[in-house]
Amino acid sequence: MKKSILFTLLFISTLFVGNSFGQSKLIHYWHFNTGTFTMYTDTIHGISADYSDLDVTKAKILYAKKTGTSAAYMTYIDTINVAAADADTVNARMGQIDGNALRARNPSDSMNLLFYIPTTHFKNIKLTYASQSSSITKGQLHQIFSYSTDSGSTWKTSGLSMPSDSAWLVYHRTTVTFTTDTTVNNNPKLVFKITFAGNDTGVKGNNRFDNITVDGDTITSSKVAIENIASIEPAYTLYPNPVGNTLAVRFETEGVKSFVIVDITGRSVFSGTTSGKEFTVAVASLQAGTYFISIRDEKTGLLTSKKFVKQ
């Protein structure tokens, strides 16, 4: 019987490691709809993400002077209310609607737009954003990309899916992936940089950015998963057990979690994701017998399992 249970637990581990639980998820998101601001070069500070699966204080955007720029150089970054005609819902997530956008203002020839985007516990990183130039004659015309894996000490360009993008007069989605450089994975020091070219020396004109997202696949170690599941130290409780129609699960912590239910043979009968400290699963359609529910904390990667009986 112990061998049968261990086989089932190892099978559950395989489900978490190899199947849908490694699919892409949102890591960071800026939508700029929570407030307005204007910041000049001598007062600019990091703009924290509106949402982060890791830490909103570490995911930030900074408009910074290039090294060697005179202390007297003056430009600024601010928010703008998106006009109804612009209909900026390009790349909108989490039900966000038209609201504010971020403006990187001219003169921008001595400025860098920096995205601090830690990727701890994630791989296959994808950065997506909507942008618009204020005009052909005044707004910045080209966005040139580079990135750093050491918090900006050194910069690279060769590992990107595209080196640059032209500015657009309507909000346009730009997606950049890190195609060949695996050092961006599971990296708390990843920074993406945009510099501007064309119409960038005047005192008028800007590029507007909105709905900036970073997505990635969760990293799961099969060894860690098997070790965790074999220890059978549940971080949650099930009730009632035995259960009739509805199984309730109560967690000790908040956060996104993935779960799978398998029968005694190891066959998956139900799976999904949840957040918060409690959720319920309708099990009335399951046949009477013994089942295992295994839950992985998406932030820590910890995988735990517990047995229950369906009456």
Please tell me the predicted confidence (pLDDT) of residue 109. 95
Q: Which two tokens stand for residue 180?
A: 């060949």
In terms of pLDDT, which residue wins out, 72 or 224?
72
pLDDT single digits (tens) 133-175:
999 999 999 999 999 999 999 999 999 999 999 988 899 999 9
Residue 292 lies in a domain: yes
Q: Would residue 54 count as lying in a domain?
A: yes
* pLDDT band for position 95 (cuts 50, 70, 90): confident
pLDDT 10s digits, 274-287: 887 888 888 988 99
**Over residues 168-190, mean pLDDT:** 94
Are both 145 and 181 inside the same structural domain? yes
* Neighbour-count burial for 59-71, b at 16+ CB within 10 Å, e otherwise: bbbbbbbeeeeee
The dihedrals phi and psi of 4, each to the nearest 5 degrees, come to: -65, -45
Q: What is the pLDDT of residue 89?
A: 85
Residue 18 lies in a domain: no
Give the end of a domain, one of 185, 218, 251.
218
> Pick the residue with more confidence: 41 or 230?
41
Both 198 and 72 in one domain: the answer is: yes
Q: How many domains does the chain have?
A: 2
Q: What confidence tens digit (pLDDT) does each residue in 207-219 have?
A: 999 999 999 998 8
Place of tokens 């060894």: 223
d(C-alpha 190, C-alpha 230), whole Å = 34
Please check whether residue 9 lies inside any domain of the structure.
no
- Of 274, 296, 270, which Cα lies nearest the Cα of 283? 270
pLDDT-derived band at 235, boundaries 50, 70, 90 = low
Evaluate whether 138 touches 208 at the Cβ level (below 8 Å). no
User: Is the pLDDT at 305 greater than 90, yes or no?
Assistant: no
- Read off the CATH number of the domain in which 281 is found: 2.60.40.3080
Residues 190, 276 share a domain? no
Same-domain check for residues 133 and 31:
yes
Q: Is residue 27 part of a domain?
A: yes
Taking alpha carbons only, the member of 119, 107, 127, 249 closest to residue 184 is 119
One domain for residues 269 and 135: no
Can you give the pTM of this predicted structure?
0.66
Q: Are residues 142 and 275 in the same domain?
A: no
In a domain, 1, yes or no: no
Residue 100 belongs to domain spanning? 23-218
pLDDT tens track for 11-22: 444 444 444 445
CA distance 268 to 11: 10
Tell me what pLDDT residue 84 has: 67
Question: Is residue 2 pLDDT above 60, yes or no?
Answer: no
36-40, 293-297, 307-311: least confidently modelled range: 293-297
The predicted structure's pLDDT at residue 3: 42
Among candidates 5, 2, 12, which has minimal Cα distance to 270? 12
Whether 253 and 209 share a structural domain: no
